[in-house]
Structure 1
Amino acid sequence: MAGQSSAVTWECDCLAHRFGNAADNGTRQPRYPTDMTDAEWARVLPLLPVPGWMRGRGGRPEAYCHRSMLDAIRYLVDNGIKWRAMPGDFPPWDRIYAFFRRWRDNLLVKEFHDRLRARVREELGRDAQPTAGVIDSQSVKADAVVGADSRGFDGGKLVNGRKRHVVVDTLGLLLGVMVTAADVGDRTAAKVLLRQVADVHHRLGLVWADGGYTGSLVEYCLATFALVLAIVKRSDDQKGFVVLPKRWIVERLFAHLMRSRRLVRDFERRTTSAEAMVYWSMTGLMTRRLARSHPQRG
């Protein structure tokens, strides 16, 4: 109910208000389903990365509220709008895009995402660092803005566009994502993505995959990353749709991504922007989970 929705106040406690110039631009009242509740904001605030201007890396203090910026990006990802179509009660669209670009280029969105994932795992009684995961890919059509240098045709799925290669933990939470042209093979992309994931998640020792990852990749992962790649194959006598053990975990992530309208197809000129959109989509999912698991007491 609207009366229960809490507002961003003049005493907002984000870093841009406390140490930057956000107070000069006022605040906004939450009004959209994608806006964070106070319970979500309370869980998010301690996990936000410290901006570069506060770490002596130069740049001007930020002029807009971090909560408003996060709400704006959540709105864009969920509703699939263009940057220039941002509602007027948010900060100017070009400032929101600059915030998105800064967090993309400095890997702050991944840092924020990974902190949220660790907190979700801990509150579910798991270690922050996973020991097992699942790898898979999803091909999606690309918009006309996607150049020929980063798009291709997936002959198996009959999709002209891009492919999202992902590794998830056993809870279905994202460990890593790499976006390529759709004609890039799963095994080729897996060598790069699994190296990135293994470099961060040192306890990861087992990854399940489907039959598309067979061949020399299994030996490569064991020799290079000390990682067991376990292939889960469908039996030849099974007909129609079959839920394969462990593989359904990653399908839940793909289903969530497709509920974010910005991700129904690829609208991003750069693959790094496409990857950032996936991380932003998952941050929304995890902040809602954290708020439900630890409700704010009134």
Structure 2
Amino acid sequence: MIDIKIQKKLYGAKGLMPLQVDLQIQEGEFVALSGTSGSGKTTLLRILAGLEEASGEIQVGSEIWLREQKALPPQKREIGFVFQDYALFENMTIEQNLLFVANNTNLAAHLLELTELRELKNRYPSSLSGGQKQRVSICRALMRKPKILLLDEPLSALDAAMRAKLQNELLTLHKEFGTTTIMVSHDPSEIYRLASRVVVLDNGSITNDGKPTEVLLKRQGSQKFSFEGELLEIKKVDVIYIAIVAIGQQLVEIVISQEEAKNLQIGDTVNVSTKAFNPNLT
């Protein structure tokens, strides 16, 4: 069990924002932290890792990581941290990057095999693609056999196909090593595929906590499905208005009324929904 009761004052776009988190996480869970940018997700990961100070208490099993003014140093916390920017040693080969963390050649070979990197073990990071670098970064984090794996949007910079591939590999590694995983993500499909639980942060506080289906699925009213997207353009074609909306990697055209066209602004976050009972899936 991970018991987190922390407070910290943050300065966001709207000024002073208190981060107040009271959260319990079971051993072996895969928890996704979701919410708007600046809500405190990455700061919470950094506090767990011991990279930022906070007041309160963090207890992992029988170990106290934070209590009052006493904090366990980051190097003594059994964590693996995967950043967005890979943070690999450019002067070391892939295998050397792993063995730098722990001199365990069998574990390094196993991780490289699982992530299809065995043939690249003698290459340097500069010669790898973004997806390959991220796999090395994940493998390196697991070399310590951490109790907790912290992931800060690790796949956000990758294309959709590579992201889906690494999601599958990440889930395989999570299950095999039995690690408690806490991941920051803005991608609903990624959260649904990987996480067993979603914790939503807004302005420093937890506003929702539950299974992905409970938190992510839109079931208000009689709507059968709905999607959020960004309004890119409104154009008039003959006597009708058409809104161009980006939903994930897809652009869609929506016919809107003249009144809606007047009230909407380019860049707005909009909700596209339907009440059709039998939508087509092709």
Q: Shared fold (TM-score greater than 0.5)?
A: no
Higher helix fraction (1 or 2): 1
Higher strand fraction (1 or 2): 2
TM-score of the two chains, using structure 1 as the length reference? 0.23
